[in-house]
Amino acid sequence: MFNSKQKTSQTKSAPSAASSITQEANARVLSQLPFEQKEDFENAKRGFIGTITHKTIKNEHGDVIWDLGAYDFLSSATAPPTVNPSLWRQAQLNCNHGLFKVTDRIYQVRGLDLSNMTIIEGDTGLIIIDPLTTLETAHAALDLYYKHFPKKPVQAVIYTHSHTDHYGGVKGVVSEDDVTSGKIPILAPEGFLENAISENVFAGNAMSRRALYMYGMILPKSVQGQVDAGLGKTVSLGTVTLIPPTDTIHQTGEKRTIDGVKMEFQLAQDTEAPSEMLIYFPQFRALCAAEDMTHNLHNIYTLRGAEVRDPVSWWKAINQAIENFGSRTDVVFAQHHWPTWDQKNVLNFFEKQRDMYKYLHDQAMRLINNGYTMLEVAEMIQLPESLAKAWYNRGYYGSVNHNVKGIYQKYLGFYSSNPADLHPLPPEAASQKYVEYMGGPEKVMQKARESFNAGEYRWVAQVMNHVVFAHPDLQAARELQAAALEQLGYQCENPTWRNEYLMGALELRHGVPQVPTTKTDSPDVVKAMPIDMYFDFMGIRLNGPKAAGKSITENIHFSDVKKDYALQLKNSALTYTPNKKFAHPDATITLTRAIMDAITLGATTFEHEIEFGAIQIKGNRDKVFEVLSCLDTFEPSFNIVTP
């Protein structure tokens, strides 16, 4: 399972136990929060109908891609010393799984993936909202509904927003043929396809690697490992699919009636996702909040990496929902977690979620304008008690700390304005200097062990990172940093922070894992990518130094879709112009879009398709291959906690 990239010999070592300092820190949490409140546990079970027979879901090859049985250890009422009691509570709530009735004709399948699938009963069939992350879990979710109700056909699919866990399972509930023929519509908010693809392809390799840390997908499921992901248990490891939408919601106030079900839409662009919408069902007095209002503080900045989200757009979207739907909503459900019932509770939920994002934004900006830097602002802000003690505002996904840093980044970027931070040495070079100035690795480690025994785990993790980057072969240094990261993880209320710390510790002890992950840049995503975006991604892959001094022009003709592009490599940049042909190109390439997709996905090669005639080149072939030779192939398992 593990294949270390470091030169050092790896000795397998077990995770550490919770120190006495960590145990005391976790025990204090019990007196700080209202654990006597049990309403969430009642609501998470409310409307339960049934669940899957076995706790696992497998793919067509028999591989387990979802395993709820791995979380059986969470049945204990008391949190173990290695898990923050608040996180233990959320992890237990997210263990509820199966088919649930929300209100008349609205059902949800929860706990079969990171997200929920909502099923609306129309007059003759079903409307599916957000078909989970992967084909296999979506298919299992629909089968679970059919186990308890007549097998009515799916009449429509709705994507609430552009994140993978809300569209990736679409081929588990409908066929592409039925969609392209017009039989089954797919609705999505404006900008859905562009944002779904750009986030998962342009930075997809880096995000997929970082997501291993954030979700802890390969951590052991245990009291010393992964217990939850905040929004749900974790991400399923099946097949990500995508069928492009056939109908788009362009503005707030648009309405649709599908199979007798009336819907009113509110766009919520640039909130939790750059393309997102809420859906109100007037017949049922129910609101689908997409992912803008869930039972946790969400991410303004996400640890896997993405563009910083706009807290101003977010609080305003919630406020608009209050104005549009608050007085006529008896139940609000989201595409994660459990619903909130009764108008008074719904309004209280809306208002406190709105005020939370408004508070974080305004207080961050107040301190920024008083001259405080990103790290200082993040240490200074805490939610007021009126917001912090609402369980649905706890930092189980986003945290106050990293969200405030995201707000700073959004407005001011990376630079603190202190010139010492303007052009610092990169980590490996800086670490060598730090350790040299401190008297060498042994002296640093001696002092770090004293700090560890004093419970100064944040400092130990920070200072030992320098030793590891300066001396990556020194296993004792890696073990000490791993131990500090584990204690930090054990104390975390936020499961994504816990996963980050414990994944770092795991890789310090065992090396970089070589394991399969859910591929967000799946065949369906590549196939749905507009050709312009394909060439954008080609430009991202271009190795600028390799391309230095080259000047090459190509005409590219896609014979199946009848599109032409003029591609130019010049000044170490790859540019393109649609609907243009160079008068005297170095080469002209003719191919189909399908062949381009197959090459991108690794199913074939450019050379192979030239040899068999699927790609024709007129002009200088060597120039074509010269461009291709300058494109990088990204390594999916790059180092993070070691140089």
Residue 539 tokens, joined: 């430009």
Helix/strand/coil (H/E/C) assignment for every residue in 480-525:
HHHHHHHHHHHHCCCHHHHHHHHHHHHHHHHCCECCCCCCCCCHHH
pTM of the model: 0.91
Rounded-to-integer distance, Cα 89 and Cα 78, Å = 9
Residue 99 phi, psi (nearest 5): -100, 130
Go through 206-216 and write b for each residue having 16 or more CB atoms within 10 A of its CB, e for each that does not.
ebbbbbbbbbb
Q: 207 falls in which pLDDT band (50, 70, 90)?
A: confident
Residue 473 tokens, joined: 């072969």
Tokens 């007798």 belong to: 260
Domain ranges of the chain: 20-412, 530-628
Rounded-to-integer distance, Cα 524 and Cα 364, Å = 40
The pLDDT score that the predictor gives to residue 123 is 98
Q: Is residue 3 over pLDDT 80?
A: no
> Average per-residue pLDDT in the chain?
94
For 483-542, how does the pLDDT look when each residue is reduced to its tens digit (9 = 90+)? 999 999 999 999 999 999 999 999 999 998 877 666 666 778 878 888 998 899 889 999
Residue type (1 letter), 159: Y
Homologous superfamily of 20-412: Metallo-beta-lactamase domain (3.60.15.30)
Helix/strand/coil (H/E/C) assignment for every residue in 339-360:
CEECHHHHHHHHHHHHHHHHHH
Q: Is residue 11 over pLDDT 80?
A: no
* Cα–Cα distance list, 328 to 70, 110, 324, 355, 363 (Å): 41, 25, 9, 21, 32
The pLDDT score that the predictor gives to residue 203 is 83
Q: Is residue 612 over pLDDT 80?
A: yes
For 132-141, how does the pLDDT look when each residue is reduced to its tens digit (9 = 90+)? 999 999 999 9
Architecture in CATH of 530-628: 2-Layer Sandwich (3.30)
The pLDDT score that the predictor gives to residue 352 is 98
CB 144 within 8 A of CB 51: yes
For 315-324, how does the pLDDT look when each residue is reduced to its tens digit (9 = 90+)? 999 999 999 9
Q: Is residue 205 over pLDDT 90?
A: no
